[in-house]
Amino acid sequence: MNLTSIPVDTNAESQFDVERFQEIVTDMLAEAKRLGASAAEAGVSVEAGLSVNVRLGEVETIEHNRDKGLGVTVYFGNRKGSASTSDFSPQAIRESVKAACDIARYTEEDQYAGLADAEQMATDIPDLDLYHHWSLSAEQAIELAKESEDVARAYDERISNSEGAGVSSHDGVRVYGNSHGFLGSYPSSRHSLGVTVIAQSGDSMQRDHWYTISRDPMQLESAESVGQRAALRTVRRLDGRKLSTCQLPVIFEADVARGLLGHFLRAANGTAQYRKASFLTDHLEQAIFPERFYIDERPHLKGALGSAPFDNEGVATYPRDLIRDGLMKSYILDSYSARRLGMQTTGNAGGSHNIYISNDELNAEQLLNKMDKGILVTEVMGQGVNIVTGDYSRGASGFWVENGELQYPVEEFTLAGNLKDMYMNLQAVGSDVDIRGNICTGSWLIENMTIAGE
């Protein structure tokens, strides 16, 4: 199926009654004030979408969903109360605000609680091209999923089974307001296609997958391409060998390296910082990565999956450095954690927005050549990451590399190290940047890691 044959609509008003949602938020804030709250904030979120899953050419599930919810938080001085509901009726709104006020009157005072400062509110809300409604019918979604799975299953005779293919298309809108007078909203969309297949060769059986995701369905990879990449990734893992325990350089493929960058973000989070529960506690201006590396946040990229004009507190988002010249320059803060640390919010209530790490303009082949001999890691498993200590130990699989070329698949080994050492031993980041998420990175070459095998 040609994706361009399915209509796309960029007018959010045709899908959501944004004006009504804004009126609801305004009414909630007014009711909180009437009940004596010194400050309040409220939000409405609505999402609608379609998801289908097929397996072995048969439809397994078709789901249409429309979810909605509203929440209100009130402050009586430094006392805080929150309530939420999915009922948008006037009575339910009044009851929710009253419940939040009742809770606030009985909670302990917290000197750090409160709205973000008024001067930090977003005053200009740019159009970030986040909304592209896809007029996708269930029949069309099924056809796309079947096409992708059929291509994958036909790719190689060793493809023996399938875990299925799925297509999803979801739209949403978020409205937020507070008693500073801030009222903002923006729509967004998210569309995806993915497939997972199983291959067998003798006693060796392997599974792997591929997926594509975008705000704009016209930017998705074709169903054929997704099926082919899923099949290729699966069959190349067959007949894996075991490793002996050793120490070697390691390349983490881009979609796996995303996790390494994610661990850094968790450690730099304000909550972990003020709780002293991070291996990067009190590390501002200290060297975390080699000097040439930068990590920055880009919240205003057009159409990107992590873009947002303001955070969950109405604070304006802005581009900034987390790592510059290898040094930690900033934490990831909402207003509460910022106050606990004696700092200013960084516009990250609700999370970070499009995190990028600088790369060395080496493609995947050039990165293998740079490593020469070692292991390319294509999958990690398990939960062996301790953000408090930085200890890292995860099961993995991938490929043995020699003379800069893949030699054969390897499996059932464990990668062990400490994230601090891994970051400082980062030798290169590839130009094969994976943008399928909020964290965007190429493959990582780390100088030396312990490989626990047979």
pLDDT of residue 12: 62
pLDDT of residue 447: 93
Is residue 36 pLDDT above 80, yes or no? Answer: yes
Cα angle 373, 377, 378 (rounded to 5 degrees) comes to: 140
Name the DSSP class of 296: E
Domains of the chain, CATH where assigned: 9-235 (3.30.2290.10), 240-454 (no CATH)
DSSP string over 50-87: EEEEEETTEEEEEEEEEEEEEEEEEEETTEEEEEEES-
Average pLDDT over residues 103-132: 95
Question: E-assigned strands of 91-182?
Answer: 133-134, 159-178
Residue whose C-alpha is closest to residue 427's, from 445, 448, 415: 445
Task: State both tokens at 130.
Answer: 């986040």
Percent of the chain past pLDDT 70, that is, above it, reads: 97
CA 383 to chain centre: 18
pLDDT of residue 233: 96
Instruction: Give the pLDDT band (50/70/90) at residue 289.
Output: very high
The CA distance from 395 to 379, in Å, is 8
Instruction: Give the pLDDT band (50/70/90) at residue 390.
Output: very high
pLDDT of residue 98: 97
What pairing do the DSSP bridges indicate for beta strands 439-440 and 355-357?
Answer: parallel
Q: Which residues contact 166 (CB under 8 A, 6 or more apart)?
A: 51, 52, 53, 54, 145, 192, 193, 194, 195
pLDDT of residue 4: 65
pLDDT of residue 318: 96
Q: What is the pLDDT of residues 187-208, one digit of tens each?
A: 999 999 999 999 999 888 999 9
What is the pTM assigned to this prediction?
A: 0.93
